[in-house]
């Protein structure tokens, strides 16, 4: 028995009235209390906030409480507690602060939505990302990545360094625009108003997620602040564009003769929007816009961050890069990857798995308890704000050997693709439970294909004199000053395999004799 119950028994023997003891024990509790982390909180100012949370995890363990003035958060870094919250008792949790911060841009879209709205929208959207759709997207990934290669070709010829993070952001924006609502941002080639509007809104969402005071809620300020005016104008432009795209797509659906079925896809416009409209999905135009916007953001920033950190890691580990290039040369030759190729690019996939371990996007998952619960043996009240630190789970010394080392070999090449289930919630690059990412297959193929096509054609090195690559955080992990790289065209290995040459020579000498 713990100290409180020993004390209670002792006091009872001394004749202290039972009612008082009951009251006393409820206050002190027979339950253990979650430890409160103290000190080092001021450190949270200049580093990305998940770094001091890692230090605190090493001191206080898999669950602790962090208090800033009136606000208090539970920080979870334990796989079984994460599993409890995300999967086993997920109904007791909502998206909490996340939904509040993102309301202006995502409204009731699938990421922030809770309860019945989430259930209905999840049921409508998941079928749109069926296998045939994901397979059809591979051509799109190839075309978009090829545009990036052409851009890098020019830089390589001119001997100019390139800032890869912004190029990856444009690559994944071009891809997700076509994939979700059949719109070609073409941001790798041109800078249109709409591309700038998307970035204005994204930066605002990130600023809000790290801002200590919600200035956007202050009555007069919100009408006169030039920054907020710009954000509102950007939102209006995006919403108007989405409304036009929805109207255009509706006309296409009305005119087409295709029957809707499970793996329905319009070859000319395979987008998620087209699927949703053709399915007869009964949805308000505001809700549809919220969902499209949510997928635009969810699928864009995450993949861009994964590519950025993958190339950073590769630049630090030349032996991994060499092995990766060997695989890509052997599997791809010079063609654009097909789905069969992607399945054969097993080492490339492990590189992405490992990059997602070291740089999970987002680095923390946010929840709020909407009923009382018991987590890791501790009772918690309704209304607790919780951060599940995926960063801590993925770098925990309890689960990983040399946790900070980029080592794709830690995942057996012929083993199953690592995911939250087969890694028991020590690894959750796409979350877990009912709120797991709907784009995991899409994103994995997109990233594997982009890495393969790029390393097939080019070598990448951190540019000479570039500032050190440091992290900063919004919703995903960014670099502080970009990822500046020198890109050089690879000298190709001989194309004709030696063995076949030898057989040919033997054959011809047999014939001639
Ligand atoms: C949810 C990661 C790409 C759409 C999530 C979650 C994670 C995640 C961790 C769970 C969030 C939580 O539990 O709070 C990623 C990563 C990606 C990626 C790392 C790229 C490498 C995509 C793409 C799409 C997408 C391409 C869309 C096509 C969504 C949606 C949700 C989600 C709609 C919310 C699901 C729900 O709440 O029911 N993603 N994602 N994601 N993701 Fe992704």
pLDDT tens digit sequence for 260-287 = 888 999 999 999 999 999 998 889 999 9
pLDDT of residue 492: 66
Ligand 1, atom 31, residue with closest C-alpha: 437
Are the C-beta atoms of residues 173 and 200 closer than 8 Å to each other? no
CA distances from 355 to 242, 309, 410 (A): 33, 7, 12
Per-residue pLDDT band for 357 (boundaries 50, 70, 90) equals very high
CA of residue 304 to ligand 1 center, whole Å? 13
CA of residue 159 to ligand 1 center, whole Å? 37
Start-to-end CA distance of the chain, whole Å, equals: 94
The closest-lying atom of ligand 1 relative to the alpha carbon of residue 356 is: 19
Ligand 1, atom 3, residue with closest C-alpha: 299
CA of residue 67 to ligand 1 center, whole Å? 29
Q: How far is CA 485 from the centre of its chain?
A: 23
pTM for the whole structure: 0.89
Above 80 in pLDDT, residue 8? no
Smallest CA-to-CA distance from 388 within 373, 369, 374 is with 369
pLDDT of residue 505: 45
Collect all residues with Cβ–Cβ distance below 8 Å to 147 and sequence separation of at least 6. Answer: 171, 174, 188, 189
pLDDT in tens, 39-73: 555 555 568 889 999 999 999 999 999 987 778 89
Tell me how far apart the alpha carbons of residues 39 and 66 are, in angstroms, rounded to a whole number. Answer: 10
Ligand 1, atom 23, residue with closest C-alpha: 299
The closest-lying atom of ligand 1 relative to the alpha carbon of residue 444 is: 21
pLDDT, greater one: 218 or 266 = 266
CA of residue 359 to ligand 1 center, whole Å? 15
pLDDT in tens, 16-46: 777 666 655 555 556 688 999 875 555 555 6
Q: What percent of the chain has pLDDT over 90?
A: 74
CA of residue 229 to ligand 1 center, whole Å? 29
Q: How far is CA 24 from the centre of its chain?
A: 46
Above 50 in pLDDT, residue 508? no
Are the C-beta atoms of residues 358 and 50 closer than 8 Å to each other? no
Please list, residue by residue across 85-114, b when 16 or more beta carbons sit within 10 angstroms of its beta carbon and e when fewer do. bbbebbebbbbbbbbebbebbbbbbbbbbb
Above 90 in pLDDT, residue 494? no
The closest-lying atom of ligand 1 relative to the alpha carbon of residue 447 is: 21
CA distances from 476 to 39, 203, 433, 499 (A): 26, 11, 21, 47
DSSP state of 260: P
CA of residue 95 to ligand 1 center, whole Å? 14
CA of residue 506 to ligand 1 center, whole Å? 56
Ligand 1, atom 10, residue with closest C-alpha: 431
Per-residue pLDDT band for 493 (boundaries 50, 70, 90) equals low
CA of residue 436 to ligand 1 center, whole Å? 7
Question: Which of 91, 126, 437, 443 for mutating ligand 1's site (highest number of atoms within 8 Å of CB)?
Answer: 437
Tell me how far apart the alpha carbons of residues 159 and 61 are, in angstroms, rounded to a whole number. Answer: 49
The closest-lying atom of ligand 1 relative to the alpha carbon of residue 365 is: 14
Are the C-beta atoms of residues 300 and 176 closer than 8 Å to each other? yes
Tell me how far apart the alpha carbons of residues 335 and 136 are, in angstroms, rounded to a whole number. Answer: 17
Ligand 1, atom 43, residue with closest C-alpha: 437
CA distances from 220 to 101, 216, 223, 236 (A): 19, 10, 5, 20
Tell me how far apart the alpha carbons of residues 447 and 464 are, in angstroms, rounded to a whole number. Answer: 26
Q: Which residues pair with 75 in a beta bridge?
A: 64, 387
pLDDT of residue 5: 64
pLDDT, greater one: 329 or 44 = 329
* Ligand 1 pocket, residues with Cβ under 6 angstroms: 110-111, 122, 294-295, 298-299, 302-303, 306, 361, 365, 429-431, 435, 437-439, 442-443
CA of residue 293 to ligand 1 center, whole Å? 13
pLDDT in tens, 359-393: 999 999 999 999 999 999 999 999 999 999 999 99
Kindly state the average pLDDT of the residues 122-130: 96
Q: What percent of the chain has pLDDT over 70?
A: 89
Most confident of 122-131, 261-270, 334-343: 122-131
The total number of residues shown for the chain amounts to 513
Neighbours of 378 (CB within 10 A): 17
Tell me how far apart the alpha carbons of residues 141 and 503 are, in angstroms, rounded to a whole number. Answer: 38
Q: Which residues pair with 389 in a beta bridge?
A: 364
The alpha carbon torsion through 465, 466, 470, 474 (nearest 10 deg) reads: 160
């Amino acid at each position: 028995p713990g100290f409180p119950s020993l004390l209670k028994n002792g006091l009872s023997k001394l004749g202290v009235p039972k009612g008082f003891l009951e009251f006393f024990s409820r206050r002190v509790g027979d339950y253990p209390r979650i430890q409160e982390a103290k000190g080092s909180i001021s450190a949270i100012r200049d580093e990305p906030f998940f770094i001091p949370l890692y230090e605190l995890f090493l001191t206080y363990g898999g669950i602790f409480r962090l208090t800033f003035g009136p606000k208090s958060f539970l920080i979870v870094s334990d796989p079984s507690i994460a599993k409890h919250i995300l999967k086993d008792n997920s109904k007791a949790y909502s998206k909490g602060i996340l939904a509040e911060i993102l309301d202006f841009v995502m409204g009731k879209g699938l990421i922030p939505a809770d309860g019945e709205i989430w259930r209905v929208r999840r049921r409508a959207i998941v079928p749109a990302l069926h296998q045939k759709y994901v397979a059809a997207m591979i051509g799109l990934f190839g075309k978009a990545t090829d545009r990036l290669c052409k851009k890098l070709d020019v830089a390589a010829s001119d001997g100019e360094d390139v800032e890869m993070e912004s190029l990856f952001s444009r690559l994944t924006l071009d891809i997700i625009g076509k994939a979700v609502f059949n719109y070609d941002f073409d941001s790798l080639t041109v800078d249109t108003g709409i591309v700038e509007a998307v970035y204005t809104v994204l930066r605002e969402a990130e600023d809000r997620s790290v801002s200590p005071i919600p200035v956007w809620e202050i009555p007069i300020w919100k009408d006169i602040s030039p920054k907020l005016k710009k954000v509102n104008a950007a939102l209006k432009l995006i919403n108007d564009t989405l409304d036009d795209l929805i109207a255009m797509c509706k006309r296409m659906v009305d005119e087409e003769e295709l029957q809707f079925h499970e793996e329905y896809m319009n070859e000319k416009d395979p987008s998620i929007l087209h699927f949703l409209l053709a399915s007869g999905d009964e949805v308000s135009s505001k809700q549809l816009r919220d969902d499209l916007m949510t997928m635009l953001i969810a699928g864009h920033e995450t993949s861009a961050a994964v590519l950025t950190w993958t190339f950073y890691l590769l630049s630090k580990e030349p032996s991994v890069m060499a092995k990766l290039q060997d695989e890509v040369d052997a599997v791809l030759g010079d063609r654009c990857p097909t789905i069969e190729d992607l399945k054969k690019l097993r080492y490339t996939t492990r590189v992405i798995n490992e990059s997602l371990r070291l740089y999970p996007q987002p680095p923390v998952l946010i929840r709020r308890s909407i009923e009382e619960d018991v987590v890791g043996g501790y009772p918690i009240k309704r209304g607790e704000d919780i951060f599940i630190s995926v960063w801590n789970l993925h770098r925990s010394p309890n689960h990983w050997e040399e946790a900070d080392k980029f080592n794709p070999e830690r995942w057996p090449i012929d083993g199953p693709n690592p995911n939250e289930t087969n890694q028991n919630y020590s690894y959750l690059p796409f979350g877990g439970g009912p709120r797991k990412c709907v784009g995991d297959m899409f994103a994995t193929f997109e990233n594997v294909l982009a890495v393969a096509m790029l390393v097939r054609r080019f070598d990448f090195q951190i540019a000479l004199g570039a500032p050190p690559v440091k992290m900063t955080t919004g919703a995903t992990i960014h670099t502080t000053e970009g990822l500046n790289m020198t890109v050089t065209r690879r000298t190709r290995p001989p194309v004709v395999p030696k063995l076949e040459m030898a057989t040919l020579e033997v054959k011809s000498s047999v014939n001639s004799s």
